[in-house]
Amino acid sequence: MDIIEDIRNKVQITEHGVGNVHSTSFPGGHEGYTDSWNQTQFEKGFRVDILQLAEDELEFDMVGIDAAIANAFRRILLAEVPTMAIEKVFIYNNTSIIQDEVLAHRLGLIPIKADPRMFEYRQQGDVEGTADDTIEFQLQVKCTKHPNAKDATDPDDLYKDHKVTTKYMKWVPIGNQAQIFKEDDLRPVNTDILIAKLRPGQEINLKMHCVKGIGKDHAKFSPVATASYRLLPDIQLKQIIEDELAERLQKCFSPGVIELDNVDGNKRARVAHPRRDTCSREFFRHPDLKDLVEYSRIRDHFIFSVESTGVMPPEVLVCEAIKVLMGKCRTFLAELTDVKSNPPKKKK
């Protein structure tokens, strides 16, 4: 039974490959295990543990689900949680060395601090936009020479407004937006993103329209810089490992994974923090170590890492991804119900 449990619950990491990667928790897969769907049992085993939460980063464990569901969360975070991004750039004057199309592309990739839940999707073919679906920014900069910079050689001392950054982007309210939003509600995430460099006499004058979209349409709408997961490592020592052997084993793993305890004057290896392991498999290179460790990963324990671009907090993005997945499930169930109620007619 222990062997079956390992096959069901662990992905084996070997010297030259990975084993037990396929899902085994389906009805009839193993004798003595029903594995039929049981909501009570699922709710008992499922949990989410938040381990680290910062302004733009979130790390949490999701335990008790299949890899397909975990990957659905990851893909939705990347491609289906909507954000606001620059879609239209109206260039009135650009005498910088950057071509118009390159400048527009650079502007489009600037993350915009705006809650997409407050806006609608713009209708296809609409160029002007409305207060419900568009945010407008204006960028107007002209480089001049400092009148008192005589012997200076640093461009920061020689020229004024020669570095065009996102701090020059000014929000222009449309309709009643000024009554709904404060000035700080709609802005670039960072004010120090470099857009272009100018020299005296050169200028940029343009306006931008931000619209609502999803990463599936264009990467600029993706709300995350990274969204990834990995399985929890499981490291078991098959026997007591001490002294020089223990020291070499410790060096084979990431810092903190293996610690050495003083037991009767001997240094004894102990697995302290398996989640810090990066699965380098370094110990397999040592003939006297590779048979002393059982190396695997827990199949249904996912360590998620989500890094927001700053448009919304990472915990909000995860909640929005869950809502999107729930909406997909409701749509699918509605389709099944419709097919059941109105089965397709058989062709004669």
Same structural domain for residues 177 and 121?
yes
Instruction: Classify 209 as helix, strand or coil.
Output: strand
Nearest to 256 by CA among 228, 277, 237, 235: 277
Instruction: Give Cα 207 distance to the centre of its chain.
Output: 30
Q: How far apart are CA 64 and CA 302, in angstroms?
A: 9
Domain end call among 164, 195, 221: 221
Q: How far apart are CA 101 and CA 202, in angstroms?
A: 17
CB 208 within 8 A of CB 266: no
Same structural domain for residues 88 and 183?
yes
Q: Does residue 263 lie in a domain region?
A: no
Same structural domain for residues 103 and 215?
yes
Same structural domain for residues 87 and 47?
no
Q: How far apart are CA 272 and CA 340, in angstroms?
A: 54
Q: How far apart are CA 73 and CA 324, in angstroms?
A: 9
Contacts of 11 (CB under 8 A, 6+ apart): 18, 19, 20, 21, 231, 296, 297, 298, 299
Q: How far apart are CA 210 and CA 84, in angstroms?
A: 6
Provide the token pair at 108: 């489009």
Contacts of 226 (CB under 8 A, 6+ apart): 305, 306, 307
Same structural domain for residues 63 and 111?
no
Q: Which regions of 109-178 does DSSP assign to beta strands (E)?
A: 112-113, 135-142, 144-145, 159-160, 163-165, 170-172
Domain end call among 166, 190, 221: 221
- Look up residue 283 and give its DSSP letter: G
Q: How far apart are CA 285 and CA 159, in angstroms?
A: 59
Domain end call among 161, 192, 221: 221
Domain range for 313: 1-81+223-237+292-340
CATH of residue 27's domain is 3.30.1360.10
Q: Report the chain (348 residues): mean pLDDT per 10 consecutive residues.
A: 69 85 70 77 90 94 91 95 96 95 96 94 86 95 86 84 95 93 92 94 96 95 94 93 92 93 91 92 91 92 95 94 94 90 76
Quick one: pLDDT at residue 140?
96
Same structural domain for residues 76 and 87?
no
CB 65 within 8 A of CB 191: no
CATH of residue 150's domain is 2.170.120.12
φ, ψ (nearest 5 deg) of residue 7: -65, -40
Q: Does residue 123 lie in a domain region?
A: yes
H/E stretch holding 49: strand 47-53
Angle of CA points 41, 42, 45, to nearest 5°: 85
Q: How far apart are CA 300 and CA 62, in angstroms?
A: 8
- For the beta carbon of residue 234, count every other beta carbon within 10 angstroms: 22
Q: How far apart are CA 139 and CA 188, in angstroms?
A: 12
Q: Which regions of 124-264 does DSSP assign to beta strands (E)?
A: 135-142, 144-145, 159-160, 163-165, 170-172, 187-188, 194-197, 203-213, 224-237, 258-263
Tally of structural domains, the chain: 2
Half-sphere exposure of 157 (CA within 13 A, CB side): 7
CB 293 within 8 A of CB 234: no
